[in-house]
Amino acid sequence: MRRVNRLALKAAVVTATVTAGVAFVLLLAAPHWGWAAAPLVGLAAGVAAYVMVQVLVARRLELARATLRSARKRRFEALGQLRAAEDRDELDELLWQVYRAGRTLQQEIERLEQIEDYRREFLGNVSHELKTPIFVISGFAEQLLDGALDDPAVNRRFIDKIGRNAQRLDNLARDLLAISRIESGELKMTQAAFDLAALIEEIVEYLEPVAEAKEATILRRVPTDLPLVTGDRDQLRQVLGNLVDNAIKYNNAGGRVEVAAKVTPEGKVRISVVDDGIGIPAEEVPRLTERFYRVDRSRSRSQGGTGLGLAIVKHIIEAHGQRLRIESRPDYGSSFSFELPLAAVDSVVPSSLT
Protein backbone atom coordinates (compact mmCIF):
# COMPACT_ATOMS: atom_id res chain seq x y z
CA MET A 1 0.00 0.00 0.00
CA ARG A 2 1.37 3.39 -1.00
CA ARG A 3 2.04 5.70 1.92
CA VAL A 4 0.36 9.07 2.25
CA ASN A 5 2.13 11.83 0.38
CA ARG A 6 3.22 14.08 3.21
CA LEU A 7 3.90 17.07 0.96
CA ALA A 8 0.39 16.88 -0.49
CA LEU A 9 -0.98 16.35 2.99
CA LYS A 10 0.68 19.57 4.15
CA ALA A 11 -0.88 21.50 1.27
CA ALA A 12 -4.30 19.97 1.92
CA VAL A 13 -4.23 20.68 5.63
CA VAL A 14 -3.19 24.29 5.19
CA THR A 15 -5.67 24.96 2.38
CA ALA A 16 -8.55 23.24 4.18
CA THR A 17 -7.79 25.02 7.42
CA VAL A 18 -7.64 28.46 5.82
CA THR A 19 -10.72 27.85 3.69
CA ALA A 20 -12.77 26.56 6.61
CA GLY A 21 -11.61 29.41 8.82
CA VAL A 22 -12.48 32.11 6.29
CA ALA A 23 -15.85 30.56 5.50
CA PHE A 24 -16.71 30.25 9.18
CA VAL A 25 -15.82 33.88 9.82
CA LEU A 26 -17.83 35.10 6.84
CA LEU A 27 -20.87 33.09 7.79
CA LEU A 28 -20.76 34.37 11.36
CA ALA A 29 -20.30 37.95 10.25
CA ALA A 30 -22.87 37.92 7.42
CA PRO A 31 -25.00 34.80 7.25
CA HIS A 32 -27.25 36.49 4.67
CA TRP A 33 -24.38 36.64 2.10
CA GLY A 34 -24.91 33.02 1.10
CA TRP A 35 -23.41 32.37 -2.32
CA ALA A 36 -21.67 35.73 -2.39
CA ALA A 37 -19.17 34.43 0.15
CA ALA A 38 -17.92 31.60 -2.11
CA PRO A 39 -15.70 33.72 -4.37
CA LEU A 40 -14.13 35.39 -1.36
CA VAL A 41 -13.50 32.07 0.31
CA GLY A 42 -11.99 30.67 -2.90
CA LEU A 43 -9.75 33.71 -3.32
CA ALA A 44 -8.54 33.43 0.25
CA ALA A 45 -7.89 29.71 -0.21
CA GLY A 46 -5.98 30.37 -3.43
CA VAL A 47 -3.79 33.01 -1.82
CA ALA A 48 -3.12 30.71 1.12
CA ALA A 49 -2.25 27.82 -1.20
CA TYR A 50 0.08 30.05 -3.22
CA VAL A 51 1.92 31.25 -0.14
CA MET A 52 2.12 27.74 1.20
CA VAL A 53 3.51 26.30 -2.05
CA GLN A 54 5.96 29.19 -2.29
CA VAL A 55 7.24 28.49 1.22
CA LEU A 56 7.13 24.69 1.21
CA VAL A 57 7.90 23.86 -2.43
CA ALA A 58 9.17 26.64 -4.68
CA ARG A 59 12.12 27.73 -2.54
CA ARG A 60 13.36 24.19 -2.06
CA LEU A 61 12.95 23.39 -5.76
CA GLU A 62 14.94 26.50 -6.62
CA LEU A 63 17.66 25.38 -4.21
CA ALA A 64 17.77 21.96 -5.87
CA ARG A 65 17.87 23.57 -9.34
CA ALA A 66 20.66 25.96 -8.30
CA THR A 67 22.64 23.08 -6.80
CA LEU A 68 22.36 20.97 -9.96
CA ARG A 69 23.21 23.98 -12.13
CA SER A 70 26.36 24.58 -10.08
CA ALA A 71 27.25 20.89 -10.18
CA ARG A 72 27.23 21.00 -13.98
CA LYS A 73 29.91 23.68 -13.70
CA ARG A 74 31.86 21.56 -11.20
CA ARG A 75 31.06 23.95 -8.37
CA PHE A 76 29.77 22.36 -5.21
CA GLU A 77 29.56 25.25 -2.75
CA ALA A 78 25.74 25.09 -2.78
CA LEU A 79 25.82 21.60 -1.29
CA GLY A 80 26.41 23.15 2.11
CA GLN A 81 22.90 24.71 1.99
CA LEU A 82 21.24 21.29 1.73
CA ARG A 83 20.49 19.82 5.10
CA ALA A 84 18.86 16.60 6.15
CA ALA A 85 15.67 17.17 8.16
CA GLU A 86 14.64 14.72 10.85
CA ASP A 87 10.99 14.65 9.72
CA ARG A 88 11.45 14.74 5.97
CA ASP A 89 8.66 14.95 3.43
CA GLU A 90 9.06 13.83 -0.17
CA LEU A 91 10.64 17.08 -1.26
CA ASP A 92 13.13 16.94 1.60
CA GLU A 93 14.03 13.43 0.46
CA LEU A 94 14.50 14.72 -3.08
CA LEU A 95 16.82 17.45 -1.81
CA TRP A 96 18.71 14.86 0.22
CA GLN A 97 19.18 12.72 -2.88
CA VAL A 98 20.41 15.80 -4.77
CA TYR A 99 22.88 16.37 -1.95
CA ARG A 100 24.12 12.76 -2.04
CA ALA A 101 24.36 12.79 -5.83
CA GLY A 102 26.28 16.06 -5.69
CA ARG A 103 28.71 14.74 -3.10
CA THR A 104 29.26 11.56 -5.10
CA LEU A 105 29.83 13.60 -8.26
CA GLN A 106 32.22 15.90 -6.42
CA GLN A 107 34.23 12.95 -5.07
CA GLU A 108 34.29 11.28 -8.48
CA ILE A 109 35.49 14.46 -10.19
CA GLU A 110 38.20 14.90 -7.56
CA ARG A 111 39.22 11.26 -8.03
CA LEU A 112 39.38 11.67 -11.82
CA GLU A 113 41.41 14.85 -11.44
CA GLN A 114 43.84 13.00 -9.16
CA ILE A 115 44.07 10.18 -11.71
CA GLU A 116 44.73 12.70 -14.47
CA ASP A 117 47.43 14.41 -12.39
CA TYR A 118 48.94 11.01 -11.65
CA ARG A 119 48.79 10.04 -15.34
CA ARG A 120 50.61 13.19 -16.41
CA GLU A 121 53.21 12.75 -13.69
CA PHE A 122 53.62 9.06 -14.50
CA LEU A 123 54.07 9.68 -18.24
CA GLY A 124 56.52 12.47 -17.48
CA ASN A 125 58.53 10.21 -15.19
CA VAL A 126 58.53 7.32 -17.66
CA SER A 127 59.62 9.63 -20.47
CA HIS A 128 62.40 11.02 -18.29
CA GLU A 129 63.59 7.56 -17.28
CA LEU A 130 63.59 6.39 -20.90
CA LYS A 131 65.29 9.47 -22.30
CA THR A 132 68.67 9.06 -20.63
CA PRO A 133 69.47 5.44 -21.60
CA ILE A 134 68.08 5.94 -25.11
CA PHE A 135 70.22 9.05 -25.53
CA VAL A 136 73.32 7.19 -24.27
CA ILE A 137 72.71 4.17 -26.51
CA SER A 138 72.06 6.36 -29.55
CA GLY A 139 75.11 8.55 -28.90
CA PHE A 140 77.59 5.73 -28.45
CA ALA A 141 76.13 3.80 -31.40
CA GLU A 142 76.64 6.84 -33.65
CA GLN A 143 80.23 7.22 -32.45
CA LEU A 144 80.91 3.54 -33.17
CA LEU A 145 79.47 3.92 -36.68
CA ASP A 146 81.55 7.08 -37.23
CA GLY A 147 84.77 5.16 -36.74
CA ALA A 148 85.12 4.37 -33.06
CA LEU A 149 84.27 0.73 -33.81
CA ASP A 150 87.72 0.34 -35.34
CA ASP A 151 89.47 1.95 -32.38
CA PRO A 152 90.31 -0.80 -29.86
CA ALA A 153 91.01 1.82 -27.22
CA VAL A 154 87.35 2.85 -26.97
CA ASN A 155 85.14 0.39 -28.84
CA ARG A 156 84.78 -2.11 -25.98
CA ARG A 157 84.09 0.68 -23.49
CA PHE A 158 81.40 2.14 -25.74
CA ILE A 159 79.79 -1.25 -26.27
CA ASP A 160 79.86 -1.89 -22.54
CA LYS A 161 78.03 1.41 -21.91
CA ILE A 162 75.46 0.51 -24.57
CA GLY A 163 74.94 -2.87 -22.93
CA ARG A 164 74.51 -1.42 -19.45
CA ASN A 165 71.97 1.16 -20.62
CA ALA A 166 70.10 -1.50 -22.61
CA GLN A 167 69.94 -3.52 -19.39
CA ARG A 168 68.60 -0.44 -17.64
CA LEU A 169 65.81 -0.19 -20.23
CA ASP A 170 65.05 -3.87 -19.77
CA ASN A 171 64.86 -3.46 -15.99
CA LEU A 172 62.52 -0.50 -16.37
CA ALA A 173 60.25 -2.44 -18.74
CA ARG A 174 60.16 -5.40 -16.34
CA ASP A 175 59.36 -3.22 -13.34
CA LEU A 176 56.64 -1.35 -15.22
CA LEU A 177 55.07 -4.65 -16.25
CA ALA A 178 55.32 -6.02 -12.71
CA ILE A 179 53.70 -3.01 -11.04
CA SER A 180 51.00 -2.90 -13.71
CA ARG A 181 50.11 -6.56 -13.15
CA ILE A 182 50.11 -6.16 -9.37
CA GLU A 183 47.89 -3.06 -9.35
CA SER A 184 45.46 -4.44 -11.93
CA GLY A 185 45.07 -7.65 -9.95
CA GLU A 186 46.42 -9.81 -12.77
CA LEU A 187 49.29 -11.04 -10.60
CA LYS A 188 47.82 -13.40 -8.01
CA MET A 189 49.70 -14.21 -4.84
CA THR A 190 50.09 -17.92 -4.12
CA GLN A 191 49.91 -18.43 -0.38
CA ALA A 192 51.87 -21.50 0.75
CA ALA A 193 54.16 -22.56 3.58
CA PHE A 194 57.87 -22.09 2.87
CA ASP A 195 61.24 -21.95 4.61
CA LEU A 196 62.04 -18.26 5.15
CA ALA A 197 65.52 -19.00 6.54
CA ALA A 198 66.45 -20.81 3.32
CA LEU A 199 65.12 -17.92 1.23
CA ILE A 200 67.19 -15.40 3.20
CA GLU A 201 70.30 -17.55 2.77
CA GLU A 202 69.65 -17.78 -0.97
CA ILE A 203 69.32 -14.00 -1.35
CA VAL A 204 72.40 -13.26 0.77
CA GLU A 205 74.54 -15.67 -1.27
CA TYR A 206 73.30 -14.11 -4.50
CA LEU A 207 74.05 -10.53 -3.40
CA GLU A 208 77.32 -11.13 -1.56
CA PRO A 209 79.39 -10.34 -4.69
CA VAL A 210 77.54 -7.00 -4.96
CA ALA A 211 78.31 -6.28 -1.30
CA GLU A 212 81.97 -7.22 -1.75
CA ALA A 213 82.26 -4.83 -4.68
CA LYS A 214 80.89 -2.08 -2.41
CA GLU A 215 83.17 -3.24 0.42
CA ALA A 216 80.05 -3.91 2.51
CA THR A 217 79.27 -6.86 4.76
CA ILE A 218 75.96 -8.74 4.93
CA LEU A 219 75.07 -10.17 8.34
CA ARG A 220 72.38 -12.78 9.01
CA ARG A 221 70.35 -12.74 12.23
CA VAL A 222 68.07 -15.72 11.73
CA PRO A 223 67.29 -18.34 14.41
CA THR A 224 68.19 -21.90 13.48
CA ASP A 225 64.71 -23.02 14.57
CA LEU A 226 62.79 -20.33 12.65
CA PRO A 227 59.38 -21.83 11.82
CA LEU A 228 57.87 -21.89 8.34
CA VAL A 229 55.85 -18.90 7.20
CA THR A 230 52.99 -18.46 4.73
CA GLY A 231 53.26 -16.36 1.60
CA ASP A 232 54.19 -16.27 -2.07
CA ARG A 233 57.85 -17.32 -2.03
CA ASP A 234 58.66 -16.03 -5.52
CA GLN A 235 57.17 -12.59 -4.89
CA LEU A 236 58.75 -12.33 -1.44
CA ARG A 237 62.09 -13.25 -2.98
CA GLN A 238 61.72 -10.12 -5.11
CA VAL A 239 60.83 -8.10 -2.00
CA LEU A 240 63.83 -9.24 0.05
CA GLY A 241 66.17 -9.08 -2.92
CA ASN A 242 65.17 -5.48 -3.59
CA LEU A 243 65.50 -4.42 0.05
CA VAL A 244 68.93 -6.03 0.51
CA ASP A 245 70.15 -4.70 -2.84
CA ASN A 246 69.06 -1.16 -1.89
CA ALA A 247 70.72 -1.46 1.52
CA ILE A 248 73.98 -2.31 -0.24
CA LYS A 249 73.72 0.33 -2.96
CA TYR A 250 72.91 3.21 -0.62
CA ASN A 251 75.44 2.26 2.02
CA ASN A 252 78.89 3.63 2.59
CA ALA A 253 82.06 1.76 1.72
CA GLY A 254 82.77 -0.64 4.56
CA GLY A 255 79.19 -0.49 5.78
CA ARG A 256 77.05 -3.31 7.14
CA VAL A 257 73.71 -4.73 6.08
CA GLU A 258 71.79 -6.90 8.52
CA VAL A 259 69.03 -9.30 7.45
CA ALA A 260 67.07 -10.44 10.50
CA ALA A 261 64.02 -12.56 11.22
CA LYS A 262 62.33 -13.31 14.53
CA VAL A 263 59.03 -14.59 15.86
CA THR A 264 56.86 -11.90 17.46
CA PRO A 265 54.60 -12.35 20.51
CA GLU A 266 51.61 -12.00 18.14
CA GLY A 267 52.57 -15.23 16.38
CA LYS A 268 54.13 -13.73 13.25
CA VAL A 269 57.64 -13.51 11.86
CA ARG A 270 59.11 -10.02 11.50
CA ILE A 271 61.67 -9.65 8.72
CA SER A 272 64.02 -6.65 8.85
CA VAL A 273 66.68 -5.32 6.51
CA VAL A 274 68.85 -2.79 8.36
CA ASP A 275 71.84 -0.81 7.13
CA ASP A 276 74.17 1.81 8.61
CA GLY A 277 74.36 3.82 5.39
CA ILE A 278 73.50 7.32 4.29
CA GLY A 279 69.98 7.33 5.74
CA ILE A 280 66.93 9.26 4.60
CA PRO A 281 65.54 12.61 5.86
CA ALA A 282 62.31 12.21 7.85
CA GLU A 283 60.28 14.32 5.42
CA GLU A 284 61.27 12.03 2.53
CA VAL A 285 60.32 8.73 4.19
CA PRO A 286 56.54 8.83 3.48
CA ARG A 287 57.19 9.24 -0.26
CA LEU A 288 59.76 6.48 -0.67
CA THR A 289 57.25 3.98 -2.04
CA GLU A 290 55.89 6.36 -4.69
CA ARG A 291 56.68 5.42 -8.27
CA PHE A 292 59.89 7.01 -9.55
CA TYR A 293 60.41 8.96 -6.35
CA ARG A 294 64.10 9.40 -5.54
CA VAL A 295 65.66 11.11 -2.56
CA ASP A 296 68.80 11.81 -4.56
CA ARG A 297 68.02 11.50 -8.27
CA SER A 298 71.57 11.72 -9.55
CA ARG A 299 72.92 9.14 -7.10
CA SER A 300 69.96 6.80 -7.66
CA ARG A 301 70.42 6.79 -11.41
CA SER A 302 74.15 6.21 -11.09
CA GLN A 303 73.30 3.09 -9.06
CA GLY A 304 71.11 1.82 -11.90
CA GLY A 305 67.75 1.86 -10.12
CA THR A 306 64.45 2.32 -11.96
CA GLY A 307 62.65 4.16 -9.17
CA LEU A 308 59.96 1.48 -9.05
CA GLY A 309 61.52 -1.07 -6.71
CA LEU A 310 60.04 0.12 -3.41
CA ALA A 311 56.65 0.73 -5.03
CA ILE A 312 56.64 -2.94 -6.11
CA VAL A 313 57.82 -4.02 -2.65
CA LYS A 314 54.98 -2.09 -1.00
CA HIS A 315 52.34 -3.58 -3.31
CA ILE A 316 53.54 -7.15 -2.82
CA ILE A 317 53.64 -6.80 0.97
CA GLU A 318 50.17 -5.23 1.03
CA ALA A 319 48.90 -8.04 -1.20
CA HIS A 320 49.95 -10.35 1.65
CA GLY A 321 47.82 -8.31 4.04
CA GLN A 322 50.88 -6.77 5.72
CA ARG A 323 52.49 -3.33 5.91
CA LEU A 324 55.98 -2.12 5.03
CA ARG A 325 57.54 -0.18 7.94
CA ILE A 326 60.34 2.28 7.22
CA GLU A 327 62.58 3.96 9.79
CA SER A 328 65.58 6.07 8.88
CA ARG A 329 67.91 8.82 10.03
CA PRO A 330 70.46 10.66 7.89
CA ASP A 331 74.00 9.37 8.47
CA TYR A 332 72.73 6.60 10.76
CA GLY A 333 71.08 4.23 8.31
CA SER A 334 67.67 2.78 7.51
CA SER A 335 65.45 -0.10 8.55
CA PHE A 336 62.81 -1.73 6.33
CA SER A 337 60.63 -4.36 7.96
CA PHE A 338 57.40 -6.30 7.48
CA GLU A 339 55.71 -9.36 8.96
CA LEU A 340 54.45 -12.69 7.66
CA PRO A 341 52.07 -15.14 9.35
CA LEU A 342 53.36 -18.45 10.62
CA ALA A 343 52.39 -21.45 8.54
CA ALA A 344 49.53 -23.51 9.92
CA VAL A 345 50.65 -26.84 11.33
CA ASP A 346 48.39 -28.82 8.99
CA SER A 347 49.88 -27.03 5.94
CA VAL A 348 53.42 -28.24 6.66
CA VAL A 349 54.37 -31.38 4.75
CA PRO A 350 56.42 -33.84 6.85
CA SER A 351 60.00 -34.15 5.65
CA SER A 352 59.55 -37.87 5.06
CA LEU A 353 56.99 -37.05 2.36
CA THR A 354 59.04 -34.41 0.52
The pLDDT tens digits for 183-215 are 777 777 788 999 999 999 999 999 998 899 888
Q: Smallest Cα–Cα separation from 71: which of 28, 44, 101?
A: 101
Residue 2: its pLDDT value, please? 46
Residue at 58: amino acid letter: A
CB 259 within 8 Å of CB 240: yes
Instruction: Tell me how long the chain is.
Output: 354
Residue 22: its pLDDT value, please? 67
Q: How confident is the model at residue 78 (pLDDT cuts 50, 70, 90)?
A: low
Tens digit of each residue's pLDDT (9 = 90 or more) over 34-75: 555 556 666 666 667 667 766 677 677 777 777 777 766 666
CATH 1.10.287.130 residue window(s) in the chain: 122-184
The answer on pLDDT for 265 being more than 50 is yes
The answer on pLDDT for 341 being more than 90 is yes
Residue 114: its pLDDT value, please? 73
Residue 143: its pLDDT value, please? 84
Count of CB atoms situated within 10 Å of the CB of 157: 12
CB 238 within 8 Å of CB 312: yes
Q: Which residues pair with 270 in a beta bridge?
A: 262, 339
CATH 3.30.565.10 fits 192-352, yes or no: yes
So what's the architecture of 122-184 in CATH? Orthogonal Bundle (1.10)
From 147-161, 308-322, 337-351, the region with the lowest mean pLDDT: 337-351
CATH 3.30.565.10 residue window(s) in the chain: 192-352
Q: Is 183 left (phi over 0), alpha (psi -120 to 50) or beta?
A: alpha
Average pLDDT, whole number, for the chain? 77
Instruction: Return d(Cα 107, Cα 105) in angstroms, integer.
Output: 5
Instruction: Return d(Cα 304, Cα 172) in angstroms, integer.
Output: 10
Tens digit of each residue's pLDDT (9 = 90 or more) over 105-155: 777 877 777 767 766 766 666 776 677 778 888 888 888 888 888 777 778
Q: Smallest Cα–Cα separation from 201: which of 215, 220, 216?
A: 220
Burial class (CB in 10 A: 0-12, 13-18, 19+), 286: exposed
Q: Smallest Cα–Cα separation from 88: which of 12, 8, 2, 7?
A: 7
In sequence order, the 6+-apart residues with CB closer than 8 A to the CB of 56 are 7, 10, 11, 91
Burial class (CB in 10 A: 0-12, 13-18, 19+), 115: exposed
Q: What share of the chain is helix, strand, coil (3-state, %, to 5)?
A: 60, 10, 25
CA atoms within 13 A on the CB side of 274: 12
Instruction: Return d(Cα 146, Cα 220) in angstroms, integer.
Output: 51
